[in-house]
């Protein structure tokens, strides 16, 4: 059996984030065995195939902010997706202490 690619490892971690919780890019990188490669996480999520079910929107910046520019379509999709799961998003920010994933 083939070893999962770097992107597949990231997708596996993101798929494991529970409904109503968020994880930071750095947390995902660490859990995928990629050390401090947090910047790569967004690139890997951007490569998700169409029709996927991986909850990319549960990944946010370490300060709790959504990484997309406020008012952009991607920002609105992410904020609405999080709110639909009961995550409180105020001014583009999530309270990590309350909604952060602690596996």
Residue-wise pLDDT tens for the chain (103 aa)?
A: 688 999 999 999 999 999 999 999 999 999 999 999 999 999 999 999 999 999 999 999 999 999 999 999 999 999 999 999 999 999 999 999 999 999 9
pLDDT at 91: 94
Domain assignment of residue 22, yes or no: yes
pLDDT at 25: 98
The strand ranges marked E within the chain are 23-24, 59-60, 89-90, 93-94
Number of H helices, E strands in the chain: 5, 4
pLDDT at 67: 97
Domain assignment of residue 103, yes or no: no
Domain assignment of residue 49, yes or no: yes
* CATH number of the domain bearing residue 85: 1.10.10.10
| CB-based contact 59:22 (threshold 8 Å) | yes
Domain assignment of residue 76, yes or no: yes
Range of the structural domain that residue 11 is part of: 6-97
Cross-strand bridge partners of residue 65: 93
**Using CA atoms, how far apart are residues 76 and 93, in angstroms rounded to an integer?**
12
The length of the chain, given as a count of residues: 103
Query: Among 61, 65, 17, which Cα is nearest to 42's?
Result: 61
3-class DSSP state for residue 63? coil
Domain assignment of residue 1, yes or no: no
Domain assignment of residue 63, yes or no: yes
pLDDT at 94: 97
* Domains of the chain: total: 1
Domain assignment of residue 13, yes or no: yes
Domain assignment of residue 28, yes or no: yes
């Amino acid at each position: 059996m083939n070893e999962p690619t770097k992107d597949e490892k990231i997708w596996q971690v993101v798929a494991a984030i529970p409904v109503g919780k968020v994880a930071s890019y750095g947390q995902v990188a660490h859990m995928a065995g990629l050390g401090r490669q947090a910047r790569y996480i967004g690139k890997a999520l951007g490569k998700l195939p169409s029709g996927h079910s991986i909850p990319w929107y549960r990944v946010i910046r370490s300060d709790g902010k959504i990484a997309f520019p406020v008012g952009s379509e991607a920002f609105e999709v992410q904020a609405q997706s999080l709110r639909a799961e009961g995550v409180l998003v105020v001014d583009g920010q999530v309270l990590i202490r309350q909604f952060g994933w602690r596996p």
